[in-house]
Chain A
Amino acid sequence: EDQVTQSPEALRLQEGESSSLNCSYTVSGLRGLFWYRQDPGKGPEFLFTLYSAGEEKEKERLKATLTKKESFLHITAPKPEDSATYLCAVQAEPANTDKLIFGTGTRLQVFP
């Protein structure tokens, strides 16, 4: 069964304290892995898509990486405005549709 697991469930960081969020997945074949940011009471906001092992994407203080079994979202020198829930989702082969399988998210809190 296709599955996505995110860890930790919650993470508290001091401003400037770098860390990583993990997304491990089990799928028959990976078509794409997606990272989203979700603020309280709002819909998920797209961050990155990764398609193959070894691929990396960066945006400001965030960097996403992908291996054959997991993805990491690295947060460098985080600021309080980075506080949010970060969601990981995978799209499995065959992908004649866009069905995404979501993890339950990592709730990040960054304190000044």
Chain B
Amino acid sequence: DVKVTQSSRYLVKRTGEKVFLECVQDMDHENMFWYRQDPGLGLRLIYFSYDVKMKEKGDIPEGYSVSREKKERFSLILESASTNQTSMYLCASSWSPGNTIYFGEGSWLTVV
């Protein structure tokens, strides 16, 4: 079975803090993604990566950055957390374009 693991399920951070969300996949997938999910807005793509050290902006990249130093690991970084970044963050991965995308369990981030 494909496993996408998000290390932190629940986080509470203060406004202005730097936040790291980590994601690891164990199936040698080429592509990795970060989404956020908000009620009424659905899932929105923040960033994705199709190779190590490569990254592409999604639909809502403002306020976020990413890092992919190893194939299996994709990190989402909030440089200076703000309250409007309170959300559920979902990491996902896939073999290559056109293949099924598998999601992690999600990380609930609250910024106070």
Contact = CB atoms under 8 A, between A and B. Distances in A.
Q: Report which residue of A46, A95, A99 has the largest number of chain B beta carbons within 10 angstroms of its beta carbon.
A: A99
Interface residues of A, number: 24
Nearest to A95: B97
A41 B48 CA distance: 23
A102 B90 CA distance: 13
Interface in B4-55: 4, 31, 33, 40-45, 48, 50
Interface string B68-112: 000000000000000000000010101011111111111010000
Contacts of B58: 99
A54 B54 CA distance: 37
B41 A96 contact: no
A102 B103 CA distance: 14
A46 B98 contact: no
Nearest to B39: A104
Given A43-B90, A104-B41, A105-B42, A98 B99 contact: yes
Contacts of B97: 95-98
B2 to A, nearest CB: 9
A96 B94 CA distance: 13
A43 B105 contact: yes
Contact of A98 (B48, B90, B108): B48
Contact of A42 (B44, B94, B96, B105): B105
Interface of B: 4, 31, 33, 40-45, 48, 50, 56, 58, 90, 92, 94, 96-106, 108
